[in-house]
Amino acid sequence: MKIKKILSKIKISKKDLLDNKLFFLTLISALINDFLLRAFTIGNILNLKPFFGTFGFILLLCSFGFLLENKKRNIYYSIILILSIIITVANSIYYTFYSSFLSVSLISIMFQLSDVKDAIKDSVFQYKDLIYIWPSFVLCLLLRDKKNKENKINKKTFYSCMSLSTFVLVSYILIFGVNINSLSEQWSKEYIVSKFGIYIYQANDIIRSFEPNINNMFGCEQSIRKVEAYYEERDNKKINNEFTNIFKGKNLIAIHAESIQQFLLDLEFNGVEVTPNLNKLSKEGIYFSNFYSQVGVGTSSDTEFTLSTSLLPVKSGTIFVSYWDREYKTLPKMLNEKGYYSFSMHGNIGTFWNRIVMHEKLGYNKFFHESYYELDENIGLGLSDKSFFRQSIPLIKEISLNNANFYANMITLSNHTPFMELEKYGEFDLSMEIEVENEYGELEKRTVPYLENNKLGNYIKSSHYADSAIGEFIKGLDEAGLLEDTVLLIYGDHDARLLKNEYDRFYNYNPLSDSILDKNDPNYKEFDYYSYELNRKVPLIIWTKNNSFKKEVKTVMGMVDVLPTLGNMFDFYNEYSLGNDIFNLKENIVVFQNGNWLTDKMYYNNQKEEYLPLEKEVISDDYITMNKEKAEELLNISNDIVVCDYIKKTKDISEANK
């Protein structure tokens, strides 16, 4: 009876609505574009929840138009419609590259897009991104229609639309059992869009972008108490093992290998290895073969941060841009305390990702960026890796002569998307030679292109060049006498951000027809969501010239675990680490920024709340619940440490109590 009573008060004149064509266009186009975006990204087209959420939300916004008259109403609806187009187009483009949805907090780094415009144009933009602009053409026709009726303020229709939108939203929450708390608690942007639609997600994101300012205004007492409780409960003491202090007093050179993925190692084409140098190093040193980066939207900068701090990326924004003014306990700072000279080197402009500011904050004594190098050979975004390494060796040599120990972080660049400068990568044949029967029934050899002239093939050629540059660098270090007392740490910073369908030709190539196998073919190999996610792992190698330590570590490991593992080897300790020394673990968990997580037993998809078992043993519900809670806790604790400047606050309190 109550529902009938509410509905009886919702009286919208058919004439009022017919006289407001822009109202209809805005409402309908927003619904259609939301549906299309979900269909082309996360694919939950049969889910009615986001449809009702979007309808109620857009209707609520459109209802205010009836409080305006004439041109003001047209302008109001035009603004909503154009914003809906911008939101869907921008998120469509962004999802292609990041497999996630855009955050308003990233507006502060949009100025950097000019530096990677070629990567965006060639790697991200697709024709499907244009499908969302169709309402703009209808809008132009309606605005030019001189027969449009004059719009008068209509409070009755306003109240009716408001009532209907409120009824829809309340019903949406109650009938579908939608958890509103997930808007603030859920890490997965895909999950929020799948439940609420793109517009509610974007509105919620705007609200959440103010969280840092709100926390600074009203304090972070509750968050700080949670962090303190976490560290009190956690057994975070240093534990000795067979690798304790093995590199104490050694120099450390870290090679930040741009976009190098683990599947490239031991991969051959026509008898030639893609990464011969990394293959050699992995067999001679300590090789972590189940290692994953844990980046968010900050990509390379997130890896630099996590390596240095053993903390994870934040929920909203990027640490290098949004949280550069916090205090962190870092790898460079801890080595500096032991008498090391810490420095970073990169062939790109120093302001990119705010590195020139953030590297100083991380504790590097000096940051050698583009201005310190002669730009004699460029590949992609900046100085080529081979020139970068060649010019860096004399600088490292000089520092080694003036300091007892040093730590260098070398950030490579050439293997960055879009992988287009084939003539600079050198020769690497990705064609395939096959035998076919000619018209006379004789077998003859024929060469087919296989991975030539496609994105994955270009990436492989680029990676072969990057590997060659690393080989030349190590040889140059040895000739300069810099390897005798030095440890090399080599890690892939993140995956290459290739689209899932790029791998179809790699796994399902039919050389006889120079095409991709049909999905119904018995030889077709399914490269699904989980195959793609697990394929994103990157190499991690610790190597010394004397090859004293040879070991393959198969335990699943994340970038957050590198710092405590190195700390045990080099004799330093960070009590704020959220990772673990991998040699003290029988089982580990790797948590990703979208809320997904991985153990040696399973990969958990936080958006769909499903998992892929990696072992034959039965996985209990308790095991899943335990690790799901642990993943959420790690993400939230790390976020609170950064956002609330926890390390500085605890340091200030400690000094005040002395």
pLDDT of 548 = 81
Average per-residue pLDDT for the chain: 88
Distance, in Å, from the CA atom of 189 to the CA atom of 95, rounded to the nearest integer, reads: 11
pLDDT of 204 = 85
Distance, in Å, from the CA atom of 595 to the CA atom of 604, rounded to the nearest integer, reads: 9
Strands 551-553 and 286-288: parallel
Q: Does the pLDDT at position 312 exceed 50?
A: yes
| Biggest alpha carbon–alpha carbon distance for the chain | 94
Neighbouring C-alpha atoms within 13 Å toward the C-beta of 21: 14
Q: Does the pLDDT at position 211 exceed 70?
A: no
Distance, in Å, from the CA atom of 33 to the CA atom of 130, rounded to the nearest integer, reads: 11
Neighbouring C-alpha atoms within 13 Å toward the C-beta of 612: 13
Task: Choose from 100-104, 135-139, 462-466 the range with maximum mean pLDDT.
Answer: 462-466
Distance, in Å, from the CA atom of 62 to the CA atom of 215, rounded to the nearest integer, reads: 32
1 falls in which pLDDT band (50, 70, 90)? very low
Q: Does the pLDDT at position 122 exceed 80?
A: no
112 falls in which pLDDT band (50, 70, 90)? low
pLDDT of 345 = 98
Distance, in Å, from the CA atom of 142 to the CA atom of 492, rounded to the nearest integer, reads: 53
Task: Choose from 13-22, 143-152, 170-179, 446-455 the range with maximum mean pLDDT.
Answer: 446-455
- Among 277-286, 363-372, 430-439, the range scoring the smallest mean pLDDT is 430-439
Taking residues 375-398, what's their average pLDDT? 96
Neighbouring C-alpha atoms within 13 Å toward the C-beta of 397: 13
Q: Does the pLDDT at position 316 exceed 90?
A: no
Tell me the residue type at 430. Answer: L
Helices (H), 41-70: 49-63
Distance, in Å, from the CA atom of 14 to the CA atom of 16, rounded to the nearest integer, reads: 5
> Does residue 89 contact residue 133 with C-beta atoms inside 8 Å?
yes
> What is the distance in angstroms between the CA of the first residue and the CA of the last residue of the chain?
68
Tell me the residue type at 489. Answer: L
Distance, in Å, from the CA atom of 255 to the CA atom of 407, rounded to the nearest integer, reads: 11
pLDDT of 148 = 57
pLDDT of 115 = 47
Taking residues 411-432, what's their average pLDDT? 94
563 falls in which pLDDT band (50, 70, 90)? very high
Kindly give, in sequence order, each residue whose CB lies less than 8 Å from that of residue 650, ignoring residues fewer than 6 positions away: 224, 228
pLDDT exceeding 90 applies to what percent of the chain? Answer: 62
What CATH number was assigned to the domain covering residues 225-426+457-503+530-656? 3.40.720.10
198 falls in which pLDDT band (50, 70, 90)? very high
In tens, the pLDDT along 20-33 reads: 788 889 999 999 99
Task: Choose from 58-62, 361-365, 513-517 the range with maximum mean pLDDT.
Answer: 361-365
The phi and psi torsions of 486 (rounded to 5 degrees) equal -130, 145
pTM score of the predicted model: 0.85
Structure-model confidence comparison of residues 500 and 622, the more confident one: 622
The residue among 552, 577, 555, 554 whose CA lies nearest residue 567 is 577
Taking residues 97-117, what's their average pLDDT? 63
Which pair of tokens denotes residue 340?
A: 């090391």
| Matching residue, tokens 């309908």 | 28
Distance, in Å, from the CA atom of 335 to the CA atom of 579, rounded to the nearest integer, reads: 18
Three-state DSSP state, 46: coil
Instruction: List where CATH 3.40.720.10 sits in the chain.
Output: 225-426+457-503+530-656
Q: Does the pLDDT at position 116 exceed 60?
A: no
> Which residues on neighbouring strands pair with residue 346, listed in sequence order?
411
User: What string of H, E and C letters represents the secondary structure of 608-642?
Assistant: CCEEEECCCCCCCHHHHHHHHHHHHHHHHHHHHHH
Torsion of CA 466, 471, 477, 483, to 10 degrees: 120
Three-state DSSP state, 487: strand
In tens, the pLDDT along 462-482 reads: 999 999 999 999 999 999 999
Distance, in Å, from the CA atom of 398 to the CA atom of 527, rounded to the nearest integer, reads: 49
